[in-house]
Structure 1
Amino acid sequence: MRLLLMSDTHVPLRARRLPDELLSAADEADVVIHAGDWVDVATLDLLEGRARRLVGVFGNNDGAELRARLPETARVELGGLRFGVVHETGAARGREARCSARYPDLDVLVFGHSHIPWDTEAPGGLRLLNPGSPTDRRRQPYRTYMTCVVTDGSLGEVVLHRLPMR
């Protein structure tokens, strides 16, 4: 099962549209996961129309219409792994322990908010993944997203994709 992980798309505030490479990855994925801060409903509509399956949550910059259509947190079983999706996990310091305590029943937690890619394993084995942002690099050298494969209850290699500078 091929997964595409993204967050913090911020269209149209940070970009007029999603990058073509990201949209191609969405077409190829079995599941697209978006960890919030869509900003516009059109991006949600676009991904709902393209993705075979979409799992998404709202973020702190998402207004009433997005909040009416998306949950604050999502939980889903994919390929034998228990995934959670949330926009914000708090400060980087102590994140692993905090998330392990808050989500003891998950295998993987996908989150966003910081625009900073993150891939660590918490005590107890919870994998924490932040794909960064495909439209707003903030203090990072690249705009980013992630892909991974789930096979027989195991998370394969997680790949951080760097988008070219605009």
Structure 2
Amino acid sequence: MKIVVLSDTHLPKRAKSLPTRLIEELVNADLIIHAGDWQTFDVYKELKFYANIVGVYGNVDEDEIKNLFPENRVIEVYGFKIGITHGHGTGKTTERRAIQKFADEKVDCIIFGHSHIPINKYDQGILLFNPGSPTDKRRQEKYSFGVIHIGDSLEAEHIFFTKDSSENNIKGVNKQ
């Protein structure tokens, strides 16, 4: 199973449309996970064209998104439990807040966003995965999103790409 993982799309504030590099992965996705800060309901409407969507809301989302998605959730995919949260709040780092949200749950992976900083690491046996942002890289070198493959194991990777200055669009250049 191929899961495309997004967070912090911030459309239309940070970009006018989904990046080409992201769309290339969405067309073959079995599931899309969005970890909040969609910005508008239009992002959801566009993404649902590609695959089923599981998500949470973030701190800048409009009421339509908040009415459709919870603040935190746990899903199970092929026996793997995945916690999803945006990670906003006060105190601690975004990563620590995300871990704390699922302290009473037995999860294999925690997906979160908010910081726009790509993270792919283990902490006490739990995979922590922040896909970064496909539209607002902030101080990161490249834009990013994630792909998780689930079969006998759960493996996550980031897709990093840069903005092509010859186009008024964000275009993919590499996979890492």
User: What is the TM-score normalised by the length of structure 2?
Assistant: 0.84
Give the letter aligned to residue 112 of structure 2: F
The 5-angstrom pairing of residues 7-156 of structure 1 reads 7-51=7-51, 53-88=52-87, 91-92=92-93, 95=96, 98-99=99-100, 102-123=103-124, 125-152=125-152, 154-156=153-155
Aligned residue-pair number: 162
- Structure 1: where are the runs of 5+ without partners? none
CA contact (8 A) 2:57 2:65 kept: yes
In structure 1, how many angstroms separate the alpha carbons of the residues matched to 2:143 and 2:62?
24
CA deviation after TM superposition for structure 1 residue 92, in Å: 3.5
- Percentage of pairs with the same residue: 37
In structure 2, how many angstroms separate the alpha carbons of the residues matched to 1:21 and 1:97?
27
CA deviation after TM superposition for structure 1 residue 103, in Å: 4.8
CA RMSD of aligned residues (A): 2.1
Instruction: Describe the SS at the equivalent of 2:64.
Output: helix
Give the letter aligned to residue 83 of structure 1: I
In structure 1, how many angstroms separate the alpha carbons of the residues matched to 2:2 and 2:41?
25
CA contact (8 A) 1:110 1:130 kept: yes
CA deviation after TM superposition for structure 1 residue 107, in Å: 0.5
In structure 1, how many angstroms separate the alpha carbons of the residues matched to 2:76 and 2:102?
20
Match of 2:169 in 1: none
CA deviation after TM superposition for structure 1 residue 120, in Å: 1.7
Provide Cα deviations, 1:80-120, integer angstroms capped at 9, x if missing partner.
Answer: 20011100066448729944862541111100000000112
Shift of the 84–139 alpha-carbon distance from structure 1 to 2, 3 Å rule, reads same
CA deviation after TM superposition for structure 1 residue 141, in Å: 0.4
CA contact (8 A) 1:89 1:111 kept: no
Shift of the 126–17 alpha-carbon distance from structure 1 to 2, 3 Å rule, reads same
Segments ≥4 residues shifted beyond 4 Å? none
User: What is the TM-score normalised by the length of structure 1?
Assistant: 0.89
CA deviation after TM superposition for structure 1 residue 122, in Å: 1.4
Find the partner of 1:161 among 159, 162, 174: 159
In structure 2, how many angstroms separate the alpha carbons of the residues matched to 1:109 and 1:93?
12
Give the letter aligned to residue 75 of structure 1: V
CA deviation after TM superposition for structure 1 residue 148, in Å: 2.1
CA contact (8 A) 1:87 1:113 kept: yes
Match of 2:6 in 1: 6
- Structure 2: where are the runs of 5+ without partners? 165-176
